[in-house]
Amino acid sequence: MGTITYRDGIAILQLVVFPFIFGAAIFIWSRAGLRVGSKIWRYPVTLSLIRIAGSIASLLSINHNSKDVEIAIAVCELIGLAPLLLTYVGVLRQIDVNQVVPVKWINIVSIVGIIGLIIGIAGVSTASDDGGSYQPSNTVKASMAIFIALFVVYHLLAAFMYLQMGHLKAFQKKLFLAIILSTPFILVRVVYAAIGDFTTIERFSIISTNGSPTIYLVMDVLEEIVAMAITMFLGMSAVLEPDFVRLTPAQLDSEPKTEVA
């Protein structure tokens, strides 16, 4: 029987926490409407499933390590940043009931994020692993550059939206607060990933055997958990507000004709 390592303990932590985040995201999704919510709240659901799958793969590697298991672990680790960031693009959709920001803008941002995800998945398969020292490919670096841009853009959209709106409903205030309170944690998470992809400092490598599990825990795992816990808590509170507005498919696919009362 294999030995449970520090990193395996981190995987266990994720396996314990992310099912709760998954449940909260499903609850918010159902309250927002199953059809419309799919464009808004599917991302935290996706992130939770990725983290659960990655944790299971990591624990399987204790006694049944193989190349396929290693690839599964690497993919789950390296693609989680996309749904994490797209969660907040979705939050902006939920806030903007009167379409202060043109729908096409947010659609473009979402598409760019998904492109970054696809590029990242492709990049994992071409990244080299020299004696356990993970070397990100140019494709992975391009994906990371897209994620950095996504982080900046959704904050700019949030600031623009906030300045353009007049009176905020209670649920909108809570969702804006979710973005604000999560920002420091997401920033640290993005910085950690960027250092790992754009430098040769192996302590910051996510999947290298020479990476520091403590840095990984503090700058990656805990940052994600705290950010998502804040967002899910405020998201559940927002959808339970009496003034919560359930968007319609037309509001997500076309320019506004009249304001939502």
pLDDT (tens digit per residue) in 1-25:
567 888 889 999 999 999 999 999 9
Domain membership flag for residue 52 = yes
Is 119 inside any structural domain?
yes
Q: Answer yes or no: is pLDDT of 50 > 90.
A: yes
CA-to-CA separations, 52 to 99, 110, 229, 254, in angstroms, rounded: 34, 23, 15, 35
Give CA–CA dist 28/257, Å, rounded.
27
* 258 in any annotated domain: no
Looking up residue 39, the CATH number of its domain turns out to be: 1.20.1070.10
| Burial environment of residue 31 by CB neighbours within 10 A (0 to 12, 13 to 18, 19 or more) | middle
Burial class from Cβ neighbours inside 10 Å (0-12, 13-18, 19+) for residue 128 reads exposed
pLDDT in tens, 159-193: 999 999 888 999 999 999 999 999 999 999 999 99
Strands (E), the chain: 128-130, 133-135
CA 201/CA 212 separation, integer angstroms: 10
Reported as a single tens digit per residue, the pLDDT across 204-259 is 877 666 788 999 999 999 999 999 999 999 999 999 999 999 888 877 765 544 44
Task: Establish if 236 belongs to a structural domain.
Answer: yes
- Joined together, the tokens standing for residue 175 give 């969702």
For residue 164, the enclosing domain spans 6-253
**Does 210 reside within a domain?**
yes
Which position has the higher pLDDT, 61 or 161?
A: 161
In a domain, 73, yes or no: yes
Residue 261 belongs to a domain:
no
For residue 49, being part of any structural domain is answered with yes
Largest CA distance in the chain: 65
Number of domains forming the structure of the chain = 1
